[in-house]
Chains A and B, each alone.
Chain A
């Protein structure tokens, strides 16, 4: 009798095990792949050249970054408004040769192409389910080697390829979950998996970065995802990855900005908020709601870096949040000078300064300003300075010529090599 019981128990346990096995071999509809780690290239890691910033949080909070000290050159481009190119919000901008590409993820769910003067040229792809269409664009990049525009959507797990005439060239199918991507110098693609565990990938699950070739074949992998703040859905910033001659990323309140190329991941900048920063031991395991409740608590304010950052050839820009306010930080790479503080438009400036940048391109940081915000801003400035319109840039962008329903205006800023009031 005991033998029968034992047999039954063994059968039940065997079935239970098989059930578990089947479950673990599937990940969000993706089939298990028996990948062996030795067949894939691991990106080497280094933190030897790391630059550490010790931020004096309270001082930065009180400080003001005056645009007249910072900005050397400013010009603007008004994006043409037509019935078929209406932009709700600018989430990302790419500039390639004489083209400006603007991505609006959530509102118009489109990518629009303009020339450098702001003249509308065409849409890249469209919303829909047919070939060459996407539910919405979630990330995009330029493949300079092949002169293609690549558009990513995580729901359909595809990167869609287009030429600069907007013609659809085909898909790169993705066999893993990811949030964003960038094209590397050698034409391969870095996938940023972020919150996706990818437990179906044999011996290389749970990696923050995967490298695929242009056919979509997995060829390499990066570091493991951190277990810090695992229960926190990370969605404070869309700009966790930045690319301007160099690809950099930051993830999950790590306070570190990493640089990535075909073979290396370098911890490049580390931001230290001292005792005003996040207490990892205390908050590391909190769930989403509790984490943000503590983070936004006015009584014991915490300084944190949401991940948004951009670089020009001479500057690194990032911002951090403290007491509900965004504090801008500009690091001059030429003389290792860091200035931090709230943004102030100097009355003696000849241009408006919007430091909530949307991208950077070579020497320029670029802000996309909604027409409505610009009109509001100029109205406020005009009250302070009646001669506003005699200043060169203000004179050119008279708001009387801008309708608040128009598409955003792009402001390009090149910062001074040496910070001074001139």
Chain B
């Protein structure tokens, strides 16, 4: 007679284990799926920011997700609406990332804004809340369009580096190139902005 509760317990346990395995796998494979989608190896991702050769950027031949972004007034836009036929420079960052790294990228963007064109620069950042967004705007007083984006960023493998990066992209949403600056290598960033970026 006591066999029924035991079977019930066993089935529940199996279901729980399967659910656990499913979700654990989902978590681990999300990054791998992205790497596979863009045809990038884990090793390539790890070394990308250290690479001196600016040609060694991640060639993302696939379309990035058309995410929804918010401005400081809480108006929503699709990423594609903010892009044109001619490419724009997106600076993607998270307010949780090292502030020195964000400031490094802002410094060079400001220095070369005339070359790039203020209207061609988009700052897409993850903020922990509206206040966090406002404080960013208060502190940096940027003349560019700044938008808030979801926590998973642009859903690119580069988001797993937890550092700000640059994507050059047009309305096709297929990135022309990417660049991950390193604050400890300012000459590398300078070279990128001076020689590589063309608008």
A binding-site residues for B, Cβ under 8 Å: 83, 86, 88-89, 106-109, 370, 372-373, 404-406
Number of interface residues of B (CB under 8 A): 9
B131 touches A88 (CB 8 A): no
Kindly identify which residue among B99, B130, B131, B138 contacts A86, using a CB–CB cutoff of 8 Å. B138
A-B contact pairs, 10 of them (CB 8 A): A83-B141, A86-B141, A106-B99, A107-B99, A107-B135, A107-B139, A108-B139, A370-B131, A372-B134, A372-B135
Please provide the 9 A-B residue pairs with the shortest distance between their CB atoms, ordered closest to farther: A405-B138, A88-B135, A372-B131, A88-B139, A86-B139, A372-B134, A86-B138, A404-B134, A107-B139
Having A108-B139, A109-B99, A372-B135, one finds 14 other A-B pairs with CB under 8 Å, namely A83-B141, A88-B135, A88-B139, A89-B135, A107-B99, A107-B135, A107-B139, A372-B130, A372-B131, A404-B134, A405-B134, A405-B137, A405-B138, A406-B138
Chain B stretch 113-147: residues in CB contact (< 8 A) with chain A? 130-131, 134-135, 137-139, 141
Residues of B within 8 A of A (CB): 99, 130-131, 134-135, 137-139, 141
CB distance from A377 to the nearest CB of B (A): 12
| Residue from B130, B131, B135 having most chain A Cβ neighbours under 10 A | B135
CA distance A18 to B139 in the complex (A): 52
A-B contact count (CB 8 A): 26
Say yes or no: B141 contacts A88, CB within 8 Å: no
Q: What chain A residues lie within 8 Å of B141 (beta carbons)?
A: 83, 86
Contacts of B131 in A (CB 8 A): 370, 372-373
- Expressed in whole angstroms, the Cα–Cα distance for A362 and B137 within the complex equals 35
CB of A111, distance to nearest CB on chain B (Å):
15
Residues on B with beta carbons closer than 8 Å to the beta carbon of A109: 99
A contact residues around B135 at 8 Å (CB): 88-89, 107, 370, 372
By beta carbon, the residue of chain A nearest B100 is A135
CA of A372 to CA of B129 in the docked complex: distance in angstroms?
12
A405–B135 Cα gap in the complex (Å)? 7
Please, which residue of chain B has its CB at the minimum distance from the CB of A407?
B138
Q: CA A404 – CA B133 in complex, angstroms? A: 11
Interface centre among B130, B134, B141, by most A CB within 10 Å? B134
Query: With the chains together, A83 CA to B137 CA distance in Å?
Result: 12
Residues of A within 8 A of B139 (CB): 86, 88, 107-108
Hey, which chain A residues are within 8 Å of B134, CB to CB? 372, 404-405
Contacts of B99 in A (CB 8 A): 106-107, 109
Residues of A within 8 A of B130 (CB): 372
A109–B100 alpha-carbon span in the complex (Å): 10
Q: Give Cα distance in the complex from A107 to B99, angstroms.
A: 7
- Give A52 to B137 CA distance when docked, in angstroms: 46
Residue in chain A with minimal CB distance to B137:
A405
Residues on the A chain within 8 Å of B137, using CB = 405
